[in-house]
Amino acid sequence: MAKSEQDLNGLRPAKIKEILDSLRDNPDVLKAVTGPWKSRVVWQKGFKAKAYMRQHAVQMDEPEGLDAQDSAASAHEQLLSAMGSCLTVGFVLNATLRGVQIHDLEIALEGNFDNILKWAGHSKEGNPGYPTVKAKCFVRADASDAVLREIWKAAVDGSPVVQTVARPTNIVTEFEQVGA
Amino acid sequence: MSKPKLFPVTVVGSWPRPTWLIQALRKRQNGEITQAEFNQIADDAVLSAIKYQEDAGVDIVSDGEVRRDNFYSFVVEKLSGIRLMKLSELMDYVKDRAGFEEILRASDVPSFAIKSPIAIDKIKERDGISLDEYDFLKNHTNRQTKIPLPGPYLLTRSAWFEGLSDKAYPTREDLAKDVVQILRNEVLELKKRGCDFIQFDEPSLTQVVYGDEAEQTFMCAALGTRRDPSEELEFAVRLMNETVEGIEGVRYGVHICRGNWSRKEDVLLKGNYGPLLPWLMRMNIHQLVLEMATPRAGEIDVFKEYRNQKELGLGVSNPRNDTIEDPKQIVQSVRKLLEFYDADKIMLNPDCGFGTFAERCVNTPDIAYKKLQSISRAAEMLRKEYT
């Protein structure tokens, strides 16, 4: 089951452990990892927007049904993807720390809006967002079912993105009109 | 010379794999062990599969297909120019990703679990597709033998993928010519070695008539593009007939079911054989190996119009549940067919294999054994009545 310390799941377990330990032992590292994490979203045209994060950029759009061009996934889909990606990172991290070789890993997520009429301006009540998000993990790995379930639980409990979504988050908004 | 035994019992092919065999299979796929090393390990699993079948009273046995990853993808080990690819690796080439996503959700499977042999170069055979399997089987049983092979339509449809295959084969038809030639060589060699029954698996024909109307899908091993259903069925008939043309002296069967990847009946396809029969009857084969023990397969009455035109390998046991069918119930379902079909045109088998996909076997060896035993008991009861 356990592989050598050289390389596991495309990672170096010893290096990962060293980084995690430095997070605990070195306040500067902890501060850097804690944040702030940033994204800047710039409107393009129609419902298109582009998000810039460090040196990366991600395009967003809306489906054609909304008179958009459907040139990219929409923000609410990318939220699901962000949750799935974060769970993937957590799963791989915890598996690697336990010495578990993963062969395939896939997470299928889905959610239904509670009251999208609020987004559309037809309703003042309720939640326009997902009241529930389902996330199913499929994995093929060299470990027992019990161990893999423990790893999955650790990934869910420790996921910054999932836990942000799962609990009330204080969203501080500001507004500024430019050039008025 | 004695009359042939009525109601011979056979299998569709696959048998559940033990964990140690799946681990060895992964090692072989990862290149950690050679094919010869794997075969040595798998020999024990084959012997066990044969013994279970013989003990259960099966008359025509298979090797359990336990050396195979699944019933068609295993060809990547036997042919050059073809590579086993996961759907997760193919997603970038899929035209309708949203449609595929819907099928994955409905089927409750991850994309990495769907694998298909994709032609990435001219395909060429090395030492046959199933000859090593057949030789080992023949050396370890006195019963009649069945070798399941992927059908020419299935293999062509699953292996030709736009964006990956078109450099070597501009069209599916180009690939089909090589597929037919390779299968013909296999049939000739199997016949020479004494194989009794060659079964071509063509489950994707169900997808043609009952699947999603999307051009691309992966239900029932039907990865790849399809055209109008009539054109597809015509293509399937032509390929089958070209494969067996002029080669006599071995029994040919075509197996068509509605999917065997899940125990959840509601995620599998449904619909009777009626729409397929005009084409299946034109295939120059002896037997249709049918799934009939699930209500999803519809009524047997659709065969009335075609009585005795082909032997029927009647599916009388559902491989995807733990219920051991009562032999009396099996007899009852065979009697329905006997109302319009002759006894010497009927074989009995489960609806499909017990381990179509190595890593998603639908049953355990013990349950599979008991189900086969039940079929054998039903066959004995029928023989007393009809001999």
B385 pLDDT more than 60: yes
pTM of the model: 0.79
Q: Tens digits of per-residue pLDDT, A29-79?
A: 999 999 999 999 999 999 999 999 999 999 999 998 888 889 999 999 999
Least Cα separation, residue A8 to chain B (angstroms): 15
Q: Is B88 on the interface with A (CB under 8 A)?
A: yes
- Across the interface, do A106 and B111 touch by the CB < 8 Å criterion? yes
Inter-chain Cβ pairs, chain A and chain B, closer than 8 A: 21
- Residue-wise burial string across B130-150, b where 16 or more C-beta atoms lie within 10 A, e elsewhere: bbbbbebbbeebebbbbbbbb
pLDDT of residue A5: 52
- Give the nearest chain A residue to B101 (CA atoms): A108
pLDDT of residue B285: 98
Stretch B333-353: mean pLDDT = 96
B1 pLDDT more than 60: no
CA distance B222 to B233: 13
Least Cα separation, residue A104 to chain B (angstroms): 7
- Across the interface, do B110 and A138 touch by the CB < 8 Å criterion? yes
Residues of B whose CB is below 8 A from A110: 105
Question: B219 or B325: which carries more pLDDT confidence?
Answer: B325
pLDDT of residue B223: 58
Residues in chain A: 180
ipTM for this prediction: 0.81
Stretch B313-335: mean pLDDT = 95
Q: Is B109 on the interface with A (CB under 8 A)?
A: yes
Q: Which of A114-128, A146-160, B151-165, B204-218 has the lowest mean pLDDT?
A: B204-218
pLDDT of residue B215: 47
- Across the interface, do A104 and B88 touch by the CB < 8 Å criterion? yes
Stretch B336-363: mean pLDDT = 91
CA distance B32 to B22: 13
pLDDT of residue B294: 83
Least Cα separation, residue B96 to chain A (angstroms): 14
- Give the nearest chain B residue to A73 (CA atoms): B98
B213 pLDDT more than 60: no
Residues of A whose CB is below 8 A from B86: 104
CA distance B288 to B279: 12
- Give the nearest chain A residue to B30 (CA atoms): A103
Alpha helices (H) along chain A:
13-25, 27-34, 75-97, 116-119, 145-157, 160-166
At B61, is the secondary structure helix, strand, or coil? Answer: strand
- Give the nearest chain B residue to A104 (CA atoms): B112
Least Cα separation, residue A103 to chain B (angstroms): 10
Stretch B150-174: mean pLDDT = 94
CA distance B15 to B348: 17
pLDDT of residue B212: 58
pLDDT of residue B224: 58
